[in-house]
Structures are given as structure tokens and as C-alpha cells.
Structure 1
Amino acid sequence: MNAGGAATPQMMRRVNAHAALAFLRSTEVATGTDLMAATGLTRASVIAVCEDLLRRGWISELDSGREPGSLKAGSLKAGSLKPGSLKGRPARRFELNPRAGFVVGIDIGAATTTAVVADLRGTIVGKASRSFRSAEIPARERIDVVNQACGEALAEAGTSPAAVLAVTAGLAAPVDRDGNVLLTKQFWRKFDVGLRTALAERHGWTVLLENDANLAALGERWRGSGVGVNDLVVILASERMGAGIIESGRLLHGHSGAAGEMGYLDMIEGVGSADGIAYLAREWFARPGEPPTVEAREVFAAAAAGDPAAAAVMDRLAERVARVIASVAIMANPEQVVLGGAVADSVGVLLPGIVERLPRFTATVPRVTASPLGDSIVTVGAVRHALDYVEAHALDLELPARA
């Protein structure tokens, strides 16, 4: 908005381009009529936005009889889409140029980092993971490891840093709307390493920072079990619990980015900490006074095979997680709560016990599911976040092929 609150022509061009690209990302081919129906734009606005996107190389027009993907970026001459050309038969068809540029999504944990490269449809075309030498390595070394993972993912994708239009990195710490890490806990400070500045200096990239649970919520709503759900909570539940909250289709951040932080679980009766499912499965299955000797997935497998001790752990976990979900349901009243993270593949065995117990703790019982995205949930959300940025700024970005 300008100072008077009215939308300027330039702002409307950006909004229209964003709407058109978002729709074209989700479909193989679209006619002008399809774009009008999907975006609510008038025919004149569709003509104008297609003209602009064609000229800039974001989309191509398919010749009659050609299949999607058969034209290269910019193959239609600018100006060839004339007023009235969306009428008649055959209808003109348009497609996104998915490899006109790329985005990078990064999941940065305490021990490892994973980077993925995606085209403009969100298809993953490269992936790489790297481990940090220790949790206490200097910021410079942590940046180097992240950068190495990005380079390996780009190499697998068959592209270069120059083709990257935006990067989103997910951190296990609260991040405010301006991309600043909340520093009130020592653990969160480990993620304030100057990544945005470092990657901008090395590659010229635009780097966006976001909380990992928030990205998990975006990813789940985009390509998980929460597709189309406007009131959704995703709980990353493996080692420690943290939540991403979508309310009325909008991601919640809070004043300092800490919406969804679950430190309050220390005060919840029958819970007592934000320890996650994998951590507790290992600890509770171990002999009293002895360190854990098996991984969480082994405890879940033992329970499925009928081991009594493992089954008892599952009962304890179902009770505890039901209390956690109930606390979220009371505060946020979501339609659906998703358990995500590396433990998601195993928690299906917990769901019946959780669902059975929930009515004891809350009158607003949500639907509870396990994420199908596994440990890729954060990088999927990071890709979506980066694509949203690219589409919103399409008219400001120079595509690599045109640079």
C-alpha cells in the first residue's frame, strides 16, 4: 500500500503476477480462461500479466498440438499475445518454465544440515546432507558445512549457484518476521551465525530464515496430510517438541517469532517437559539407571512385534502426547494436528491411543495424523517458502537465462 492506502499500478502488477505464477506452478498447462477462473482477474488483466511474464521468460506459450515442456524459456516473442487472442479456438495454452531458475531449501539442525534444490514447480532435483563436527563449532565452520551441502545439492541438480533465485533456511529456533533469531536461550544462539550475510557475499543469494516447525506447517499444508486445511498445527515431535501454527490459512509468528514454542509443557500435568517422542522412547525403554542402548525405531518395532516392555512405553507415550495435543487444541483450536519429523514414520501405532484419550483432556478434539513427509517435512516447507518469495518478487528478479 502507498501512503494513502490505495494499491498502485505497480503493486497490482506484482499481485497479479504472483497469482498467475502460483496457479501455473500447480498445473501443467493453463488457458487464459483457466487463469481468469483461478485468479479472479479480468481478461484484460490476464492478457497483461501473461504478456509481462512471457517477455521476462517465466512462462511459455504452447503451439497448437505441442505437449507441455516442449518450448524453452522465452520461445514466444514478446508482444505476440494480442488483446482478444485468448478468445476463439483453439485456446492459447501457457506453461511455467520450471527450470528458468531454482530455489534452495535448507534444514539446519544441531547435528546435521540438509539442502535440497527445487525447480519452479517445487520438484526436488538435488539433495545433500552434511554433519557438523560438533554442536560447539564456530559460526564460520557451521556456515561452511551448510554451504558445502548446498553446493553438493546444486551439483546433483545439474545447475549452478547463479541459477538460484531464493534460499530459505529452517532453524531450530524462533525467527521473527524480519528473519532475526530470538536469542533468549543459549541453544537458540547457536543458529545466529550470520548465514544470510555469508551466503549473500559468497553467491549473491537472497536468504530467508524461518523457524523449522513453521516451515513444517507450510510443507504439510502444501504436500502432506494437511492439504487445504486452514486451521492446522504441525508438531515436530522427534527429539524435542515444537509447533508450527496455521490459523485461517495464515502462519502465526507472534511478536518475536516464538508462536508455537512449547517450553510451557514443563508446566503441563502429566507432561513435564518438551522432550520428544524419539527421545522418550529410548529413555523409557532403557533399564532404570542405565543409558539407552536402542534407537527409537527399534522400540516401535519391538512394540509392533508384541514386546510387553515396548508396549508399555507406547501406552505412556500415547498418554503424554494426548496431553500435549490437548493443550494445543485448547489454545489454538485447530481442525487438524499433525505429528511430524523423523519419528513420523513410526507414530502410527500411537494414534489410536492418542485419539482415545483426547476427549478426557479437551472439548475441542482435532483430527490427529502422522505426516507422510517424514524427515523431509522441513525442506519441503522451505522450498514452498522460497517459491512464495520468488512468485511475489517475480517482476523484480532477473532470470538466470536472461541475465
Structure 2
Amino acid sequence: MPYTQRRLNAAAILRLAWDVSAFTASNAMNETGLTRSTVIALCDDLVECGWLAELADARAAGEYRKGRPAKRYALRGDAGVVIGVDAGPHRITATVSDLFGAELGQAVEHVARDETETADRVALTDGAVSAALAAAGVGAARVLCITVGVPAPTDLNGVSPERGNPFWRLMNPGFAQHFADRGWPTVVENDANLAAVAEGSTGAGTGLPSYITLLSGERFGAGYVVNGQLVRGARGGAGEMWPLRLVENVGSADGIGLLLRDWIRTAKRSGELPLDSSLNSIPLKNLDAPAVFKAADAGDPYAVQLIEHMAERLARICAVLAGLLDVDRIVIAGAVAEAIDLLLERTRLRLAELTHPPAPDVVASKLGSGVVSAGAVTRALAYTRENALDLVLEDAVG
């Protein structure tokens, strides 16, 4: 649809459709200031294009009994699908959603730790996407947008820097061009930024003007929302945490999962782990962050000691971020967030000592390991909504 007044009016109708379950011509007139004849003509166009469905009239729906029955319309949730991908270092998850955000299908591809630098990530991601579409029962022609989350900074074209950390190019080996070549509008974004998008949409950032989502697994990454805007930086690197190596008693961007696993395995190998610790009964290969959290929750003194050590480190990281950005809340996200109550209890106490009052609230995300996928779907839906009139629906072809 060309950029005319008619297009602008159609976009206004479609925005209304996205925000309500159903609407009448009168609703649209009140919302847009357009005449009845214009509204009805535009709705007919949007029905023909495949974006709207005409519903039973208001009288049939029981909304009123007298007068001329009013036409009712609604956005077609099945007009197309979007795909959100979390392309993490060791796990690639693809989720297919309808236009209301309801999950239709999901698939996962795993990458072994010793294959991280050699895996064909494009092929693995393609496999996950194809499997998710098959699980959803929809064809590739119905995809309106795909968003891929990667553990790397990305520019506005979805490209990660050639120079700097070589890990970035491993994690983002040309996803933007690859999926564009498949004919899909494509967004490639940093995973922590997408986690922040998810937290702002349905998580612990909802309703807050300024918050940080601190994604922690193997490494820390941060998504900053300040005054309601996601902060990306000039080259998409605003959330990179390499400066933590300059912070006293932190020294790296290593995440909670990696550090607790390394600390407890090192303790067992060196004989530092007390013989009466419950962690001693766990095979070395199974000693990881969840095992430490579980033991600490049960009162294991050595596990609690490790948690306190981690709390000191996390409090310093939060203090630095809070001091720079003056946010309301810091959300700890990722799979590790499911079991960190004890860690956060100690982190909050130490953070209060390190910062000027009031210290930001530090909470665990409730979105679990799917936080990046959820953010990717949300971002893909936002793209579709913003560009709907430039997209051709499969139902409208021919």
C-alpha cells in the first residue's frame, strides 16, 4: 500500500485492531476521527488483504438489541506467524507464534560444549526453525518476521563486529543475510536486549520506566531500558560486560552458572571440599550451579559459603550498573534465575552497603530459560505490527 493518506488511515485502523479483541465501525470512528464510510471501506480493504476478519454483527453477539446491526471486526491471529530464536552457545531454540503471541510450535537443537567453535550454527538454526514450523503445522510462506537473539553485539543491520571478540562472529555467522535470503524480514539482536524486551512486556520490568536485565549463564550480558527506551549504543554494544574486568573483586564477565560450576569442581579436585558436604556425593561431571543452589538451600555450609562469595561479586556488578544508570530495578534472568532466592537475599544486603540509598530492587526473572525466546517473539511481533502494510499475507496472494 503506497504512502498516502489512505495508508495512514488504514494503519490507524490496524493499530486499533491490534489493541482490542474486536471493534465496530463506531469504535474505529471514535478512535481515529474518521467518517463511517471511510472506516467501513478501509476495514473491507483490510479484510481483503487478510489482516482483519469480519465477525458476527453486534446484535448477533448480544451487544445490543435495537437499531441497525453494526459490523464487527478483529485482527486475524492466523494471518501469519512470527519466529523467535534464541541462538545461545549450547542451545538453539526456535519458537513459532501467531499474531496474538500464542505459541504454536517449538524446537531445540543442542550444541556440545566441545563443538561450540566448530558447529555449523546456521545449519543448526535452520534445523530448529524448520522443526518448529513443522510442529506448528504452518509453511514457510506464512512467516512474517523472524528475530534471532545472539550472545554478541549487533548493529542495526543485525551484523556483529568483525574486530574485537572473535566469539561474536562465531555466535552470529551471518544470520541476518541468511534468513533474508529465505525471503523473511529478519531482526538479529543481542540476547540480553531481547531478555530486557521480554521482561518489559510480561516480566519483572513491566510498567517500570528504567530497569536492567542482567542475563547470566556462562557470561553476563545486560539489556538496559532507560526512560522507557532500550539502550543499544552506537554499534549495539551497550550491554557488553567486558568492563567488569576493570572492577575490583570482579575481574571478568563470567556468569553465575560458569563460576559456581568452576568453583565447586575446583574445590572437589583440590580436596578443599569438606568431606561432610553433601556436594561430595555428586560426581564431578554433575557438579554445577543448580547443585550448589540446592545444597545451599538445604543448609550445606560450604555451598552457602560459595553463595556468599557470589553475592559479593554480584552486588559489586549491580552497584556499578546502578551507579551509572540510576534504574529502578535489576532483573537477574536466564535459567539460573529459577533458584537464586538465597543469592539475591545476600546480594541485596551487600548492595545496600555499596550504593547510595535507595538501592535498586534486585529480583529474579520469572520467565526462566525461555526469556530470550520470549523477547525474540515479542520483537518479531513488534516488527510485524510496525510494518504490516508492507507485508504480503499468503492468503492475499493470487
| Both structures adopt the same fold (TM-score exceeding 0.5) | yes
The structural deviation recorded for 1:387 is: 1.0
In structure 2, relative to structure 1, the CA distance for the partners of 1:275 and 1:165 (3 Å cut) is same
Q: CA separation in 2, counterparts of 1:279 and 1:200?
A: 34
Note the C-alpha offset of 1:325: 1.1
Paired residue secondary structure (1:251): strand
Q: Check if 1:346 corresponds to 2:315.
A: no
Q: Secondary structure of the equivalent of 1:286? A: helix
The 8 Å contact of residues 157 and 176 in structure 2, kept in 1 or not, is answered as no
Q: Which residue of 1 aligns with 2:396?
A: 402
Q: Aligned pair 1:144/2:136, yes or no?
A: no
Which residue number corresponds to residue 135 of structure 1? Answer: 116
Q: TM-score, normalised by structure 1?
A: 0.84
Q: Which residue of 1 aligns with 2:187?
A: 208
Amino acid across the alignment from 1:385: R
Percent identity over paired residues = 39
Distance of 1:11 and 1:319 partners within structure 2 = 58
Contact 1:179 1:209 in 2 (8 A): yes
- 1:197 equivalent to 2:191? Answer no
Tell me which amino acid in the other structure corresponds to 1:335: D
Query: Which residue, out of 304, 329, 350, partners 1:336?
Result: 329
Aligned AA (2:33): T
| Aligned residue in 2 for 1:225 | 204
> Which residue number corresponds to residue 97 of structure 2?
118
CA distance in 1, matches of 2:197, 2:27: 25
Report which stretch shifted further, 151-160 or 262-271.
262-271
- Evaluate the alpha carbon distance shift between residue 52 and residue 360 of structure 1 in structure 2; reply closer, same or farther with a 3 A threshold: farther
Any conservation in 1 of the 2:158–2:176 contact (CA below 8 Å)? Answer: no
| Aligned position for 2:372 | 378
| Greater displacement, 148-157 / 247-256 | 247-256
Q: CA deviation at 1:30?
A: 3.5
Change (3 A) 1:96 1:346: same
Q: Which segment drifts farther, 104-113 or 286-295?
A: 286-295
Q: Deviations over 1:59-110 (max 9, x none)?
A: 123213667xxxxxxxxxxxxxxxxxxxx77654332111110001111112
Deviations 1:142-161 (A, max 9, x none): 21111110011001101111
Matched residue pairs, number? 371
Report the AA paired with residue 194 of structure 1: G
Q: Report the Cα offset of residue 223 of structure 1.
A: 1.5
Does the 8 Å CA contact 1:219/1:381 hold for their aligned counterparts?
yes
CA contact (8 A) 2:50 2:79 kept: yes
Q: Deviation at 1:33?
A: 5.9
Residue type at the aligned position of 2:118: I
C-alpha change, 1:287 and 1:195, in structure 2 (3 Å) is: closer
Name the structure 1 match of 2:361.
367
What per-residue deviation string (whole Å, max 9, x for no partner) do you get for residues 290-313 of structure 1? 286412111111111111111111
Shift of 1:284: 2.6
8 Å CA contact retained: 1:216, 1:244: yes
Tell me by how many angstroms 1:27 deviates.
3.9
Residues 159 and 174 of structure 2 are in contact (CA less than 8 Å); yes or no, is this contact kept in structure 1?
no
Cα-to-partner distance string for 1:10-65 (whole Å, 9 max, x where unaligned): 2766666556545544543334565577xx63244866754543332111232136
Q: Which residue of 2 aligns with 1:265?
A: 244
Q: Distance in 2 between matches of 1:282 and 1:200?
A: 39
CA contact (8 A) 1:239 1:275 kept: yes
Alignment of 1:3-402 (within 5 A): 10=3, 20-21=13-14, 24-31=17-24, 41-44=32-35, 50-64=43-57, 92-132=71-111, 134-137=115-118, 141-183=120-162, 184-201=164-181, 203-288=182-267, 290=269, 293=285, 294-363=287-356, 364-402=358-396
5+ residue gaps, structure 2, are 62-66, 271-283
Query: 1:182 touches 1:257 (CA, 8 Å); kept in 2?
Result: no
Displacement of 1:277: 1.0
**Distance in 1, Cα, partners of 2:7 & 2:85:** 27
Q: Which deviates more, 297-306 or 19-28?
A: 19-28
CA–CA distance in 1 between the matches of 2:8 and 2:214?
A: 32
Q: Partners in 1 of 2:9 and 2:315 — Cα distance? A: 44
Give the letter aligned to residue 352 of structure 1: E
The residue matched to 2:366 in structure 1 has which SS?
coil
Secondary structure of the residue aligned to 1:198 is: helix
Give SS of 2:32's match. Answer: coil
Measure, in 2, the Cα distance between the counterparts of 1:223 and 1:356.
27
Contact 1:14 1:392 in 2 (8 A): no
Pick closer, same or farther for the CA change 1:172–1:356 going to 2, 3 Å. Answer: same
Asked whether the 8 Å contact 1:172–1:191 carries over to 2, the reply is yes
